[in-house]
């Protein structure tokens, strides 16, 4: 990875970005790799490049539900900026690929050195909070097809490709619903010519149509990110 290729890192002042970059090492995140568990001490933070990670709230007696997603736009481990050493959520690699990894100790050291970096992290934490709040409301009030379209758009944004791989089982897990509901919703999106889905391989055919099919949460997420970080 010759360049930074992570938008949050690009927000940092050049001198801070250089120090952070020097303290990072390139890693490859594997599909379904677990990067954190709730309550566990955080030893590393991750700045995804072309990988992306699902943030999952675990509930006793159920597999949990996705409440957020981290890709090139952000980082995993942002809670360290609040002085909290333990992870709040289950973090699962949803899209494999490259990332920068930095030790928690080095990350906290840079935060102490740079108030501007801390301010940038505060804005990013706001974006994460807004995303997780929207996910909770979306789960309660929006239809399966709308939620699926939003999830596919978020995944496409972070995969940086019209094609990515995801199974019905994984979608059901992420969206907190039965597989039959996912199958019905995905079939409808395919029938409308918005996506092609075959054996877990998703191709987004009509991006504008998929945006129109998604709930308003997707546009809200995009607007919040643009207003707070760009």
Report pLDDT digits (tens) over 205-223.
999 999 999 999 888 888 8
Mean pLDDT of 161-183: 83
Q: Under DSSP, is residue 37 helix (H, G, I), strand (E, B) or coil?
A: coil
Q: 54: Cβ–Cβ under 8 A, 6 or more apart, which residues?
A: 66, 68, 69, 91, 92, 93, 94, 174
Q: What is the pLDDT of residue 2?
A: 42
- Tell me what the mean pLDDT of segment 86-102 comes to: 95
More confident residue, 14 or 3: 14
The DSSP letter of residue 166 is -
Query: Which has more pLDDT, 201 or 112?
Result: 112
Q: Does domain 143-214 have CATH number 3.30.70.141?
A: no
* Nearest one of 136, 124, 130, 121 to 221, comparing CA atoms: 130
What are the extents of the domains in the chain?
Answer: 7-138, 143-214
User: Which one is the CATH code of 7-138: 2.102.10.10, 3.40.50.300, 2.60.40.10, 2.60.120.10?
Assistant: 2.60.120.10
The per-residue pLDDT for 38 is: 95
- Which residues, at least 6 apart from 155, have a Cβ–Cβ distance to it below 8 Å? 52, 69, 94, 95, 164, 166, 202
Q: What is the tens place of the pLDDT at every residue in 17-74?
A: 999 999 999 999 998 899 999 999 999 999 999 999 999 998 776 678 889 999 999 9
């Amino acid at each position: 990875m010759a360049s930074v290729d992570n938008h949050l890192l690009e927000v940092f002042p050049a001198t801070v970005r250089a120090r952070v970059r020097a303290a990072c090492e390139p890693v490859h995140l594997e599909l379904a790799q677990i990067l954190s568990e709730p309550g566990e001490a955080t030893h590393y933070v991750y700045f995804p490049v072309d990988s992306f990670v699902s943030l999952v709230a675990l509930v006793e007696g159920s597999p949990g539900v996705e409440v957020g997603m981290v890709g090139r736009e952000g980082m995993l481990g942002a809670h360290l900026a609040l002085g909290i050493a333990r992870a709040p959520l289950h973090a699962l690699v949803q899209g494999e690929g490259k990332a920068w990894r930095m030790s928690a100790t080095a990350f906290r050291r840079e935060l102490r050195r740079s108030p501007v970096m801390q301010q940038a992290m505060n804005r990013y934490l706001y974006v994460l909070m807004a995303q997780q709040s929207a996910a909770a409301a979306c789960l309660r009030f929006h239809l399966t097809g709308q939620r699926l379209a939003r999830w596919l758009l978020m995944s496409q944004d972070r995969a940086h490709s019209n094609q990515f791989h995801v199974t019905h089982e994984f979608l059901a897990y992420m969206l907190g619903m039965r597989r039959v509901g996912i199958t019905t919703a995905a079939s409808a999106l395919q029938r409308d010519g918005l996506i092609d889905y075959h054996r877990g391989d998703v191709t987004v055919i009509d991006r504008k149509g998929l945006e129109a099919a998604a709930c308003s949460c997707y546009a809200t997420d995009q607007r919040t990110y643009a207003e707070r970080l760009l």
